[in-house]
Amino acid sequence: MTDAALYRQSDPRLLGGRPHEGPASKRITTGYGFWIFLLSDIVMFSCFFAAYAVLLGQTADGPKGAELFDLKSVAAETALLLLSSFTCGLAMIAADVRNALWYQIAMAVTCLLGLGFLALEFREFAELVSRGAGPTRSAFLSSFFTLVGCHGAHVSAGILWLLTMMAQVLAKGFRADIMRRLLCFALFWHALDIIWVAIFSVVYLLGSAA
Amino acid sequence: MSDQHLHHAVDLAPGDEEEGRIGPRLLGYCIGFALAILLTATSFFIAGTDLVWQPSIPVAIIVLAIAQMGVHLVFFIHITTDPDNTNNILALAFGLLIVFLVVTGSLWIMANLNQNMPPMDQIMRMQR
């Protein structure tokens, strides 16, 4: 049974037959608040996307995207991130059925996939900088490093959060407050994946076509 | 849900599912993952191919990306058209409106400015 179902049955306000009265459960208000935060984060990313799209041609006679981007590496990063989203979903199912072992395994796999993604991204950045195509080279590269680096920073923060959640479940078990944090973490991780879809499409595929 | 009376009694938190059994939930994640891989592979294939009319490629990539974001929203974040999800949908719609305004507005204005601005050597001559 999902947590949502448990909450419905254990919520005393719902037993009186007037289900629409009273405040929403804490799980809903927490999840909704975090959903609003994620949407505002996506709005922030949209500004970086707009900057990238506007500055795509402003290469200051420097290298263009088509000369810089290694699509094989990008495809590998995408595969890692998609797979990590999948294992994150498995971890949430395991948490809902209170299976600590499978939860920890799925979260550990998610963490490794995320770290693999970061390693590939870091290697790509290091290679660009060593080829003289760092963020100071042109407006195009500044916007590229800002956008993709901002996503990478989010993934790094997500991995720290992931490790925290593994430790919290280990120390405190599947308490209601821990389950709320897990709900928010899963939303965050899946939202990062959605932003990555926009990045590989707009930045890498359209950027190397232009 | 086991209790139909409570079915629409409360809203759902974003990310929570109606479905409670493990099997269908696992299947949902598997379908979402398979669709995401399929759309991603198509995107990468389209970007490098000569098989289709070249000017259609950027449009195809954008359409595939939007489709994949939809897949992620439905199968991973579990946003549905269910009445329980109305609040989540409305917040999402507002977010998308702002994203749309920011991106298209920036592109539109900057394209206009670029078109109306004289070439750089002319500006330099005017400043002299």
C-alpha span between A116 and A207 (Å, rounded) = 24
Q: Which of A79-93, A153-167, A196-210, B3-17 has the lowest mean pLDDT?
A: B3-17
Residue-wise pLDDT tens digits, B100-120: 999 999 999 999 988 888 777
Contact A9, B3 (CB under 8 A): yes
Q: The domain A23-51+77-209 belongs to what CATH superfamily?
A: Cytochrome c oxidase, subunit III, four-helix bundle (1.20.120.80)
The interface pTM score, or ipTM, of the predicted complex is 0.84
H-run or E-run covering B39: helix B22-48
* Facing residue for A206 by CB, picked from B58, B73, B76: B58
Subunit contact B15:A186, Cβ cutoff 8 A: yes
- When CB atoms are compared, the residue of A1, A14, A198 closest to B65 is A198
Strands (E), A24-67: none
What confidence category does residue B2 fall into, taking pLDDT thresholds of 50, 70 and 90?
A: very low
Q: What is the DSSP string of B104-117?
A: HHHHHHHHHHHHHS
Tell me which residue has tokens 């592979």: B41
Q: pLDDT-derived band of residue A24, with 50, 70 and 90 as boundaries?
A: confident
Q: How far away is chain A from the Cα of B101, in angstroms, using its nearest Cα?
A: 10
Whether residue B103 and residue A50 make contact (CB cut-off 8 A), yes or no, is yes
Rounded CA gap, B67 and B35, in Å?
Answer: 10
DSSP string, A118-156: HHHHHHHHHHHHHTT-STTS-HHHHHHHHHHHHHHHHHH
Classify residue A23 by its DSSP letter: P
> Lowest-pLDDT range, A25-39, B7-21, B97-111?
B7-21
Question: Could you report the per-residue pLDDT of B70-97, keeping only the tens digit for each?
Answer: 999 999 999 888 888 888 999 999 999 9
Residue percentage of chain A with pLDDT more than 70: 90
Backbone angles phi, psi at A84, to 5 degrees: -70, -35
Residue ranges per structural domain of chain A: 23-51+77-209
Is the pLDDT assigned to residue B6 strictly greater than 80? no
Residue B31 has pLDDT above 70, yes or no: yes
From B124's Cα to the closest Cα of chain A, the distance in A is 17
Say how far apart CA A120 and CA A146 lie, in whole Å: 17
With contact defined as beta carbons under 8 Å apart, do B62 and B34 qualify?
no
Q: Does the distance separating the beta carbons of A3 and B106 come in below 8 Å?
A: no
Residue pair A210/A68 in contact (Cβ under 8 Å)? The answer is: no
